[in-house]
Amino acid sequence: MPLSDPIDDFRLAYDRYGPAGAPPVVLLHGWPGDRTDMAAVAGELAGTHDVVVPDLRGFGGSDKHDRDPARHYDAAAQARSVAALLSGLGLSGAVVAGYDVGSRVAQRLAADRPDLLRGLVITPPVPGVGRRVLAEDPMREFWYQAFHQLDLAEELVDGDPRAVRAYLRHFWSHWSGPDFAVGDERLDHLVGVYSPPGAFLASIGWYRAGGGAVARSLSETAPDPRDRTAVPARVLWPEHDPLFPREWSDRVGEFLADVTVTRVDGVGHFVPVEAPQVFAAAVAEAAR
């Protein structure tokens, strides 16, 4: 498992597949997952693309330092690490694709380093939600983001494999589509990477840095149209994601200058895991 050069003293673990010199692709995982979320997508793309799949800061095999989340685990910090990984590998013109946390990091990378990117393929969360996130039904789903701000989250979950298993199983079961069930092997792997002391705490550094959908949506302001993110983006919007109803796609164009929203039926929040062929096909199209 190679490691990137350190940025802010954080190194990213990553996998790389496919022929050198092929169109570059970077796949970014979400919470509560790691780079193995993208294994099936990478398998679809590896024959024709140079595919890089990192663990984000605080996840999987990447560094998990106990640092101020606002400076070291927010979207800007995560994007710095991904940008440095691309530069270190000599890659530019990449399609960056992500879901959940990975989607937000991809969006920040497109805003900060558009010179490195050819396109985005992302799933919700995307901008434009606004204060709708405070409605009664959404707030029933987003309770965990407030919980992650509490010391109680560390006390009840961190370092306890049994608690980690129960906590992660809830999200993988509740957020997925009706035809998906997380397998024991998959859950065993995630418990293995999330249950060492400090690992769960590092993974929620993203939320403690204000990266969650609630904090982001309440603070977002549509930019001047001339200042919208210019990197071409395709948003894959799943049918059964309880966090992000499809009607929330109506304002994406206020933030992304060149965006296409494509509905993905039959799946939930974990689009790369539940529908890897659909996700990979969108990435391949963006890389043409």
Structure tokens at 222: 């549509």
Contact of 18 with 49, CB cutoff 8 Å: yes
Nearest-angstrom CA–CA distance, 133 and 81: 29
Q: What are phi and psi of 144, to 5 degrees?
A: -65, -25
Q: Is the dihedral of CA 258, 268, 64, 73 positive or negative?
A: positive
Q: CA-CA distance, 100 to 95, in Å (whole number)?
A: 17
- Active-site residue flag, 194: no
The SS3 call for residue 40 is helix
Which residue in the list 15, 50, 55, 100 is annotated as catalytic? 100
Cα 130 from chain centroid (whole Å): 20
Query: Does the annotation count 65 as an active-site position?
Result: no
Whether 14 is catalytic is no
Active-site option among 17, 99, 167, 207: 207
Catalytic residue (one of 49, 72, 148, 269): 269
H or E element, residue 26: strand 24-28
The catalytic site residues sit at 100, 207, 269
